[in-house]
Amino acid sequence: MLDALVTVVVILACAGVVCAMAAARVVKQYERGVVFRLGRLRSDIRGPGFTMIAPVFDRLRKVNMQIVTMPVPAQEGITRDNVTVRVDAVVYFKVVDPAEAIVAVEDYRFAVSQMAQTSLRSIIGKSDLDDLLSNREKLNQGLELMIDSPAVGWGVHIDRVEIKDVSLPETMKRSMARQAEADRERRARVINADAELQASKKLAEAAAQMSETPSALQLRLLQTVMAVAAEKNSTLVLPIPVELLRFLERGQQPPEVARVDGGGAKEPVSAGQEAVPPAPAVPRLTEREPEHEPERVVER
């Protein structure tokens, strides 16, 4: 009798241990537990840590609450300006209501992926090529709104959506390269034209200033002559204006020295010069045309 009682106690203890092990569950920090009792959803959501359920009647499903990074397969479409492009994106989302994520949709990850693909194709058809290339921030916001609207009913929140890459046909790439090169040439020509315009304005101002002071123009001419003459193996033939000679003569002329010519008149003589007597008069020679002899007439 005692042996049978001990056996029953041991069996009950083992059954209790097995039941306790079957009822014990551990929920991680980034997870939440959804309990179904006899197929019916219970309202209490199990948090992280150790929890117990009824081994036979309850079923615990864990839901990951971390942000999920899901790449969207590349989608090919035609833009509003009739350009064929291939666009891929990435979606960041997380579960905010674990009960809805389990009950409202069979597989919320697959549902978000399909919604992202259809939304991406839709946004391609509504946008121009320039928007896809340069205005991605606005397109990302539009994609986020399009995916987040149905995802709210699944207990999922779309954190953000980003377009990764836009692939163009080779012919379109070459056309865009030619367009960019033409635009760079146009900007370079505009910059050169502006520089020439400013230089011509400054040159006109300098010419106006030099026209008011002729000596400045003469000094500028002298500087040019000196700069050219400083070069080796260079020959410069430059007509010098009379005004420049007079200017130089006035600068080099010493005090005047009076001299007396043969007629008694006084002329200024420079220092170091000797009086030169007037040159004797040279008689003019006049050529006379030869006289023509009268023609002779011979009678036959």
Would you call 187 helix, strand, or coil by DSSP? helix
DSSP reduced 3-state for 235: coil
Domain ranges in the chain are: 10-62, 68-172
What rounded mean pLDDT belongs to the chain? 77
pLDDT top residue among 290 and 114: 114
As a whole number, mean pLDDT of residues 101-128 equals 91
Q: How far apart, in whole angstroms, are the C-alpha atoms of residue 293 and residue 279?
A: 42
Q: Model confidence at 161, in pLDDT bands (50, 70, 90)?
A: very high
Instruction: Name residues whose C-beta falls within 8 Å of residue 236's C-beta, 6 or more positions apart in sequence.
Output: 225, 228, 229
Question: Average pLDDT of 188-217?
Answer: 83
What angle do the packed helices 214-229 and 242-252 form, to 10 degrees? 90
Residue with tokens 């960019």: 180
- pLDDT higher than threshold 70 for residue 263: no
Residues 252 and 189: their CA atoms lie apart, in Å, by 51
- Whether 255 has a pLDDT exceeding 60, the answer reads no
DSSP assignment of 20-42: HHHHEEEE-TTEEEEEEETTEEE
Phi, psi torsion values for 37, nearest 5 degrees: -110, 115
Q: Where is pLDDT greater, at 266 or 63?
A: 63
pLDDT of 111:
93
The pLDDT of residue 132 is above 90: no
Least confident of 135-144, 162-171, 231-240: 231-240
pLDDT band at 213 (very low <50, low <70, confident <90, very high): confident
Q: What are the two backbone dihedrals, phi and then psi, of residue 163, each rounded to the nearest 5 degrees?
A: -80, 125
Residue 241 predicted with pLDDT over 80: no
* Rounded Cα gap, residues 93 and 83, in angstroms: 31
| More confident site: 16 or 273 | 16
Q: Two tokens at 250? A: 């006035």
Architecture of domain 68-172: 2-Layer Sandwich (3.30)
Residue 238: pLDDT band (50, 70, 90) is: low
Taking the C-alpha atoms of residue 141 and residue 161, their distance in angstroms, rounded to an integer, is 7
Instruction: Compare 145 and 270 and report the one with higher pLDDT.
Output: 145
Q: Long-range contacts for 157-162 (Cβ within 8 Å, ≥24 apart)?
A: 157/93, 157/94, 157/95, 157/96, 158/91, 158/92, 158/93, 158/112, 159/67, 159/92, 159/93, 159/94, 160/92, 161/89, 161/90, 161/91, 161/92, 161/116, 162/89, 162/90, 162/92, 162/136
Say what the pLDDT of residue 118 is. Answer: 92
Nearest partner of 63 among 23, 91, 105, 92, judged by Cα: 105
**Residue 25, CA distances (Å) to 45, 61, 216 in order:** 13, 10, 101
Quote the CA–CA distance of 105 and 151 in Å, as a whole number.
10
10 Å CB burial of residue 112 (0-12, 13-18, 19+) is buried
Q: What is the pTM of this model?
A: 0.56
